[in-house]
A and B are shown apart, each in its own frame.
Chain A
Amino acid sequence: MADLCAVVGVGQTKHASCRADVSIAGLVREAVDRALADANIGIDDVDAIVIGKAPDPLEGVAMPELWLADALAAHGKPVFRVHTAGSVGGSTAIVAAQHVMAGIHGTVLTVGFEKQSDGNAMWALSVPIPFGMPVHAGAGGYFSPIVRGYIKRSGAPSHIGAMVAVKDRTNACKNPYAHLHEPDWTLEKALESPMMWDPIRFVETCPSSDGAMALVIMSEERADKHAGPKAWVHATAMRSEPTAFAGREQVSPRAGEMCAEDLWRKGGITNPAKEIDVAEIYVPFAWFEPMWLENLGFAPRNEGWRWVEDGVTDIGGSLPINPSGGVMSTNPIGASGMLRFGEAAMQVMGKAGEHQIDGARKAVGHAYGGGSQFFAMWLVSSSKP
């Protein structure tokens, strides 16, 4: 049986399209310093460091674990790197938590980061595949046909994506660290946004961001003696599946459903929509909010879009989704999953500031990556299980 652990410190950078004022190391250090300050500990109190970033062959430096060991003050400590595409921020936090839950380390620092302005992640993911037909066009080109499949199957009206986009951009204005602060979006204006990858409009896509997120995770023994709010980790879950196989359910991947079922079972949750107070889920294209509501088991199949339309996922709704503004407002890919995990922790710690959901006790962080094939989730709470 695994030991308990808790998040005791959360720190993130100000996210922007280009953080020209810092190097990758400086960006990472900014988040780490804030997380350590939030936890009220020093780097000497850390036993091990787990870092993660998304794949980009050319982003400034190919081996960040070498580059960052000094910036992270890793002298004499183990450093691990985790690598699971866009879900990496989530799986990195899980690996860090598991180091503590396994009883190996008492205090682990974990950080996810990406400096998209130093590379070109979007097109790095669209290099021609040998002997194939070069018709793919970035992540939007990959996910747009899947969104079309969801729209056809669920009968969702075409304005749902725009509604999610307006909600997330509006929420981001309450988050001082968010990349996009665009308070003037209305549904009417969003519907006029140009079709990039039909059926995905420009406004329904995430930005490219520079940013980092860091967490301090402690064992139960240390956390009990630690002053200040904590986010107790009730459950973690990860699942994977191949990018492509015959008859693959692309709209609601089986690996995602299995991952959620595992999370709810481990966390003792029988009615997720009722028992979860707030969720930060990985929505890089607006339509994925209703799609993941269904995949996670919050909403019944083909009904997720109705929840969006009815305002269920608004900050004032019964299941607020991405009060931070989410990936739709901030997407430093390697950090995006950890931002979801960290924002979930901030909610139950009561540290979310203007986008705090009143009385949030149980929150979920969710990340996915690759061709919707890697899933990572955690369930955190203000109290022990």
Chain B
Amino acid sequence: MSEADGIMRLRQPISVTYNWSAGPNATSHLNGLLDGTLVGKRCPGCSLVYFPPRNGVCPKCARILGEDVVVGPRGTITTFCVVNVPFLGQKIKLPYVAAQILLDGADISMQHLIQECEATDVRIGMRVEPVWKDRSEWGPSLENITHFRPTGEPDRDMGVEAGAS
């Protein structure tokens, strides 16, 4: 509680518990994670592959996503951020690299952590691969992958894709 100019301010913490229904299209993706497989979905209209298949709908043509497609596990960094800011509930040591990774076979990047190299060595176009937690710790989450690390392959020329999603 604090006062300024005679006006009282109250601090009132609240917490929220909520449910989240994955829906059938995200469920095959989540089941894949339980099995250590990266499963995306292809749009029957534009043939593009979404990983993760967010709402089960193609954001471009609004059609319901169709067949399951296994993607990755390797991918290419399209852009990244070096995070130096501590934030609420942060579990990762600073500084860390949060990168957009375009998994092989997918048409949209996803965000994950880059480790096992210096932040200053991370580049747009760098090839990376996932490092998985021990299988006993797996759940239906991308957190099964602790981080991605450089594969040592030559960089890919991203051209105008640099910075794209």
Q: Do A and B bind each other?
A: yes
Distance A126 CA – B96 CA, assembled complex (angstroms): 16
- Contact between A135 and B108 (Cβ–Cβ < 8 Å)? no
Q: Mark B78-95, 1 if CB is under 8 A from A, else 0.
A: 111111110111111001
Distance A57 CA – B92 CA, assembled complex (angstroms): 26
Any B CB within 8 A of the CB of A383: no
User: Given A20-B9, A126-B87, A137-B85, are A247 and B98 neighbors across the interface (CB < 8 Å)?
Assistant: no
Least distance between A40 CB and chain B CB atoms (Å): 30
- Contact between A131 and B141 (Cβ–Cβ < 8 Å)? yes
- Contact between B98 and A141 (Cβ–Cβ < 8 Å)? yes
Q: Which residue of A lies closest to B160 (CB)?
A: A153
- Contact between B87 and A137 (Cβ–Cβ < 8 Å)? yes
Distance A250 CA – B78 CA, assembled complex (angstroms): 12
Q: Which one of B14, B84, B107 has the highest number of Cβ atoms from chain A below 10 Å of its Cβ? A: B84
Any B CB within 8 A of the CB of A194: yes
Chain A positions within 8 Å of B78 at CB level: 149
- Contact between B59 and A245 (Cβ–Cβ < 8 Å)? yes
Partner of A244 from the list B22, B59, B92, B145 (CB cut-off 8 Å) is B59
Q: Which residue of B lies closest to A134 (CB)?
A: B91
- Contact between B163 and A196 (Cβ–Cβ < 8 Å)? no
Distance A246 CA – B2 CA, assembled complex (angstroms): 49
- Contact between B142 and A152 (Cβ–Cβ < 8 Å)? no
Any A CB within 8 A of the CB of B74: no
Least distance between A201 CB and chain B CB atoms (Å): 10
Least distance between B73 CB and chain A CB atoms (Å): 14
Distance A140 CA – B60 CA, assembled complex (angstroms): 26
Chain B positions within 8 Å of A138 at CB level: 85, 87
Partner of B124 from the list A57, A123, A152, A249 (CB cut-off 8 Å) is A152
Partner of A250 from the list B89, B113, B140, B164 (CB cut-off 8 Å) is B164
Q: Mark B115-143, 1 if CB is under 8 A from A, else 0.
A: 00001000010000000000000001111
Scan residues 55-89 of chain B and give those whose CB is less than 8 A from a CB of chain A.
58-60, 78-85, 87-89
Chain A positions within 8 Å of B89 at CB level: 128, 134
A-B contact count (CB 8 A): 143
Distance A140 CA – B7 CA, assembled complex (angstroms): 33
Chain A positions within 8 Å of B58 at CB level: 245
- Contact between A136 and B84 (Cβ–Cβ < 8 Å)? no
- Contact between B163 and A250 (Cβ–Cβ < 8 Å)? yes
Chain A positions within 8 Å of B92 at CB level: 135
Distance A6 CA – B98 CA, assembled complex (angstroms): 46
Distance A251 CA – B113 CA, assembled complex (angstroms): 22
Least distance between A124 CB and chain B CB atoms (Å): 10
Chain B positions within 8 Å of A144 at CB level: 81
Least distance between B66 CB and chain A CB atoms (Å): 15
Chain A positions within 8 Å of B54 at CB level: 244
User: Given A133-B113, A135-B92, are A197 and B165 neighbors across the interface (CB < 8 Å)?
Assistant: no
Q: Which one of A18, A137, A249 has the highest number of Cβ atoms from chain B below 10 Å of its Cβ? A: A137
Any B CB within 8 A of the CB of A384: no
Partner of B162 from the list A140, A152, A248 (CB cut-off 8 Å) is A152
- 16 further A-B contacts with Cβ under 8 Å, apart from A18-B4, A131-B141, A140-B81, are A20-B4, A126-B87, A128-B89, A131-B26, A133-B111, A134-B143, A135-B98, A137-B83, A141-B85, A145-B80, A148-B80, A197-B82, A197-B84, A244-B165, A246-B46, A250-B165
Please name 11 pairs of A and B residues whose Cβ atoms are closer than 8 Å in the assembled complex, sorted by A: A20-B7, A21-B5, A123-B88, A128-B89, A130-B22, A137-B90, A138-B85, A146-B79, A198-B84, A244-B54, A247-B107
Question: Chain A residues in contact with chain B, CB under 8 A?
Answer: 18, 20-22, 57-58, 123, 126, 128, 130-138, 140-141, 144-146, 148-150, 152-153, 194-198, 242, 244-251
Ranked nearest first, the 7 interchain pairs of A and B with the lowest CB-CB distance are: A149-B163, A198-B82, A20-B4, A242-B59, A246-B107, A245-B59, A144-B81
Question: Chain B residues in contact with chain A, CB under 8 A?
Answer: 2, 4-5, 7, 9, 14, 16, 20, 22, 26, 30, 33, 46, 48-50, 52, 54, 58-60, 78-85, 87-92, 95-96, 98-100, 107-108, 110-113, 119, 124, 140-143, 145, 160, 162-165
